[in-house]
Amino acid sequence: MKYQPLPLQSAEDIDLEPYGWPVGIGDDTVLSDTAFYEGAVQLCQPGPFSSDDDTTLSVARVRPRNNEVIWMERHFKHTQVFVPLGGNPYVVVLAPPNDKAVPDIDAAVAVQFPGHLGFMMRVGTWHEFPFAAHDPVDMIVILRNETNRDLDQLANDEAEGEDLQKRNIKARLGVTLGFDLPSR
């Protein structure tokens, strides 16, 4: 079995455009006033969120685990969103969308997000569920209910449906992706 280390890159330093959009308000974010609250509430849209009426919002508690990627998945019908609560950093392993049945692991990246920045993935972006960097992270997860139903339909340690392909890259490709976190 081959182990392929991924360099850990900062979400604030990497071009995320091939994978999706950061979710948060930075210094260069364009904000719009609402018709109410005399400018005390301003809004922005970080990217073109896409889904249908089968969308759900969940809160996940992500605890530290082994920093190795065995599975990667992608969605065909929606942009999935991860929004951290509480300020703890997290890592997402990503690979660009492709037309193959497995991710291009040579194009995979491990991206560390600060605890104030969420992430919305493009439709079709290969990813593994986020990793807690050091401390548990509570995060809002926005996705389709169909995806949750598809994840319950395991076959040979994988899941598949109209909106989901979850692949065991360790079994299919003989590779386990991984990353090292810097010390605190």
- 109-115 and 20-23 beta bridge pairing: unpaired
Can you tell me the distance from the alpha carbon of 79 to that of 67, in angstroms, rounded to the nearest whole number?
24
How far apart are the C-alpha atoms of 97 and 123, rounded to whole Å?
8
Which string of DSSP letters, residue by residue, matches 93-122? EEE---SSSS--GGG-EEEEEEET-EEEEP
Are 144 and 62 a contacting pair, CB within 8 Å? no
What whole-number distance in Å separates Cα of residue 171 and Cα of residue 24?
Answer: 36
Exposure string (b/e) for 85-118, b if CB count within 10 Å is 16 or more?
Answer: eeebbbbbbbbebeeeebbebeebbbbbbbbebb
Query: Does 103 have pLDDT greater than 80?
Result: yes
Q: What is the value of pTM for the model shown?
A: 0.84
Model confidence pLDDT, tens digit, residues 133-158:
999 999 999 999 898 888 888 888 89
Q: Judge whether residue 37 has pLDDT over 80.
A: no
> Which pLDDT score, from 0 to 100, does residue 155 have?
87
110 vs 95: CA distance, rounded Å: 9
* Distance between CA atoms of residues 60 and 88, nearest Å: 13
Q: What is the mean pLDDT of the chain?
A: 91
Mind listing the domains of the chain with CATH numbers? Answer: 2-23+49-178 (2.60.120.480)
The C-alpha atoms of residue 34 and residue 10 are separated, in whole angstroms, by 32
